[in-house]
Structure 1
Amino acid sequence: MQATLTITPAQLPGVLLHVTVVRPVFLWGAPGIGKSSLVRDFADSLGLECVTLLGTQLAPEDLIGVPELVGGRSRFAPPESIARTEPYCLFLDELNASAPEVQKAFYSLILDRRLGTYELPEGSVVIGAGNRATDNALARPMASALVNRLVHVHLRASSTDWLVWAANNGIHPWVVDYLVQRPDHLWSAPPKTEEPFSTPRAWHMLSDVMHSYGESLDEETLGLLAYGTLTGAHASAFRAYVKTVRHAYDLDAVLKGDAPWPRRPEDRDLLYFLSETFRARLIKELPADRRGVSTRGRELAFRAKALLVELAEISLECAQLVIASDVDGVPVLPTWFLVEVGRDLPRLVAARN
């Protein structure tokens, strides 16, 4: 299912609060962006127990129950996990990954809140969740009859929301500080091959194992852990960031002239990280219109041109990375700055020579 409009994790509780009281909701989203945790937190906020059923681990009889004789007649006895007397949140995780027969077994439960003679207690809510087929995750086509029984909400990852959560939930400070600088690295699209990729869940896992190692975490082990949880490019950049922290070597020091660009071959990952951070800083602080440039912005633009010359002497690739267009060929840095770079760089190169 394709998303026309999406919401962030911070917006989700408000939507669920108004919708789930009248209709069941299906929450779509990429793997690892926190769908399950958000549903459990929502249930807790209502004071409801969250009962989770995994669609991939269910058979039809796990829902409709097994027949029993009562007063000489047979009836289906729903499972104890569902047949409760107090209101609760029924969370159907990976619903669209379940077999077609299981999906059919959910029809009456989702639409009529009923299984045989058992009816969900008043005040209960039903929420389903699953990944999209485009996420390269296990997902089966959802029958139109089931699609039409649910209100569909599409969730997207939000670095702002996640960083607020991370600051209050013990996420490793290096992870938090890195993603403050590179919020675009919080999430990446699932790859078509079997390899790690960056998600809020992946960063949380990396944080946990970093905490486990503590001060004994060396550079090689950090690289092993980062590459084992994140997208390769993000792992390399994070490893380089940690190197800057440990050696008090950051972009601000380079901008101020207190430190040069790293030149040693073994610091090439650090040079790439600083180049990407330099690019991100220019994108963030230089306005699109030259008339809106502040004094600080003019100073940054002037210093940036000199630093580009120095960077090109070490690695032309890194210098090109700073001013490169996006994947669609559209410039991401302001046009006026790129014009100045093209105009002034030959003079700056001649002055250095």
Structure 2
Amino acid sequence: MQPVLTVTPAQLPDVLLNVAVVRPVFLWGSPGIGKSSLVRQFADSLGLDCVSMLGTQLAPEDLIGVPQIVDGRSRFCPPEMIARDTPYCLFLDELNAASPDVQKAFYSLILDHRIGSYSLPAGSVVIGAGNRATDQALARPMASALVNRLVHVHLRASADDWLTWAAAHGIHPWIVEYLTQRPDHLWSPPPKTEEPFSTPRSWHMLSDTLLSYGTVGEDVLGLLAYATLTPTHAAAFLAYLKTIRHAYDLEAVLKGDARWPADPADRDVLYFLAETFRGRLAKDLPADKRHASAGVRQFAFRAKALLVELAEISLEIAQLVIAEGDGPALPSWFLIEAARDMPRLVAVRAGS
């Protein structure tokens, strides 16, 4: 199922508070973006126990229960974890990865809050969650009868939300500082091959391992980064750590207090600084030049001069700054001015 509209983790509690209390909700989202923890936090906010059931580990009889003879009649007794006397949040994780028979066993529980002769206590909520088939994750087609029993909400990763959470939950400062500069590296699409990829969960794992080690050398840093992140993000994160360990700073370059690192041994650092430079341009330059203040115009002129200096060290990396890529696009007016002014700036530098 592909989303038309999505919500961020910060928006989700309000949606659940108004929707999940009256209708069952299915929460779609990529692996590792925090679906399970958000549901547990929502249950806590209502003062409800969160009972999690993993669809991939269930058989139909795990829900329906086993028959017992009561007063000469057989009656199915649901499992103890479901049959509770007080309201709770029933979280059906990986529901769309369950077998068709298990999905079918959930029908009455999802729609009517009832299974056999047992009904969920008034005030209980039912929330399902799962990944999409496009996420390279285990997912089975949902029967239309099940789809139509749920309110479908699509969750997306949000760097702002995650960084706010990270600051209050002891995430390693290197990771917080890095993702503050490169929020686009918080999440990457799951690859088609079996290799690590970047998600809020994988950054959390990296933080835990860094905190566990305490003091780490470059070899261990590399091992941990490539063990948890997309290779491109791991390389960029390691380059960032190299910049802060060797006092490289984009702000200093922008102000003219430092130059682009030209040593071939620092090529990874140069690449990281160039990517950060592009992100800074995309963030600070308005789409329409008419909305640019005098300070922004001065920044744009300085940026063109820095592109010339960068091209003298590596034309390839300089081209990456202005080329179309996966990140945010640079304003067209800046690209046009850069193409027009750079030959003159090169001549000025050659004559100086």
Task: Please report the TM-score for the alignment, with normalisation by the length of structure 1.
Answer: 0.96
Alignment match, 1:334: 331
Tell me which residue corresponds to 2:7. Answer: 7
User: Mean alpha-carbon deviation: is it higher for 319-328 or for 230-239?
Assistant: 319-328
RMSD of aligned alpha carbons: 1.4
Q: CA deviation at 1:167?
A: 1.0
Distance 2:126 2:326 in 1: 41
SS in 2 for 1:47: coil
Q: CA deviation at 1:340?
A: 2.2
Map 1:234-253 to 2 at 5 A.
234-253=233-252
* Distance in 2 (alpha carbons) for counterparts of 1:15 and 1:287: 33
Task: Report the alpha carbon displacement of residue 299 of structure 1 after superposing the two structures with TM.
Answer: 2.2
Q: Distance in 1 between matches of 2:14 and 2:302?
A: 46
Query: How many Å separate the matches in 1 of 2:290 and 2:157?
Result: 34
Equivalent position of 1:350 in the other structure: 347
* Residue aligning to 2:158: 158
**What code does the residue aligned with 1:89 have?**
C
Residue range with higher mean Cα deviation, 298-307 or 34-43: 298-307
- Separation (CA, whole Å) in 2 of partners of 1:343 and 1:2: 42
Distance in 1 between residues matched to 2:130 and 2:332, nearest whole Å: 42
Determine the structure 1 residue equivalent to 2:254: 255
Match of 1:211 in 2: 211
Q: Identify the residue that residue 147 of structure 1 maps to in structure 2.
A: 147
The one-letter code matched in structure 2 to 1:46 is: L
State the match for 2:289 in structure 1: 290
Residue segments in structure 1 that go unaligned for 5+ positions in a row: none
Q: Cα deviation per residue 1:128-156 (whole Å; 9 max; x = unaligned)?
A: 00000111100001111111111111111
Letter in 1 for 2:131: N
Matches within 5 A, 1:169-248: 169-214=169-214, 216-248=215-247
Cα deviations across residues 95-126 of structure 1 (Å, max 9, x unaligned)?
00001111111111111111111111111111
Structure 2 SS opposite 1:152: strand
Shift of 1:298: 2.2
Q: Distance in 2 between matches of 1:317 and 1:117?
A: 69
User: Equivalent residue for 2:34?
Assistant: 34
Please tell me the residue identity of whatever aligns with 1:241. Answer: Y
Q: Could you give the per-residue CA deviations for residues 199-228 of structure 1, whole angstroms, max 9, x where no partner exists?
A: 1111111111111111x2112211211111
What SS does structure 1 have at the residue aligned with 2:259? coil
TM norm structure 2: 0.96
Aligned to 2:94: 94
Other-structure match for 1:305: 304
Cα distance, 1:327 vs structure 2: 5.6
How many residue pairs match? The answer is: 350
Q: Which amino acid aligns with 1:167?
A: A
* Whole-Å separation in 1 of the counterparts to 2:210 and 2:86: 41
Match of 1:121 in 2: 121
- Listed as ranges, the matches of 1:67-106 within 5 Å are 67-106=67-106
